[in-house]
Amino acid sequence: MPEQVRYLTAEEIIEINKRVLSEIKVKRADSHRVASRKKVEDALAEVLEQEGDVYWKAATLLVGLIKAHAFDSGNRRTAYAATKVFLEANGKKLDIDVQPKVLAGIREGFYQTREVMEWLKGRGIRAFVRP
């Protein structure tokens, strides 16, 4: 029997953005504002459509939210935090520290989703180098 996956909602992602911006200020101008709720919903729909295990779905979530740029501030921080919440809600632990260069590489399309999945599993990832 396939495992039951607990998916995040758009409301939960929006709340994660609020929390991340209040807890992890990077710029003085950081402020919570949803630029496009539809982009959040589209990223979540992509996760729902995916076959594969929870790590594949988590990688799809991380990549989708980073590339969607659905918030005025904190998109990468929000995507990472949401991925961590998603994995924990599904009985998995994210044993990697946030790596801003990896998140920037995801945003720029440097990594394939499969590489991101392996990184989320704790197997490392190649260094991001801008072309």
Domain containing residue 93: 10-120
Looking at per-residue pLDDT, the higher value among 29 and 75 belongs to 75
Average pLDDT, the chain: 92
- Residue 84's φ and ψ, nearest 5 degrees, are -65, -45
Residue 129 lies in a domain: no
Looking at per-residue pLDDT, the higher value among 60 and 24 belongs to 60
Residue 97 lies in a domain: yes
Residue 68 lies in a domain: yes
Residue 23: per-residue pLDDT? 85
Tokens matching residue 68: 């969607």
Partner residues linked to 71 by β-bridges: 34
Tokens matching residue 5: 């996956």
Residue 27 lies in a domain: yes
CATH number of the domain bearing residue 73:
1.20.120.1870
Residue 22 lies in a domain: yes
Contact, 76 vs 62, CB < 8 A? no
Residue 19 lies in a domain: yes
Residue 10: per-residue pLDDT? 98
Tokens matching residue 115: 């590489």
User: For residue 105, how many other CB atoms are within 10 A of its CB?
Assistant: 21
Domain count, the chain: 1
Q: How confident is the model at residue 126 (pLDDT cuts 50, 70, 90)?
A: very high
Residue 22: per-residue pLDDT? 87
Q: How confident is the model at residue 32 (pLDDT cuts 50, 70, 90)?
A: confident
pTM more than 0.85: yes
Residue 4 lies in a domain: no
End-to-end, the C-alpha distance of the chain in Å comes to 44
Residue 30: per-residue pLDDT? 72
Residue 48 lies in a domain: yes
Flag whether pLDDT at 55 surpasses 50.
Answer: yes
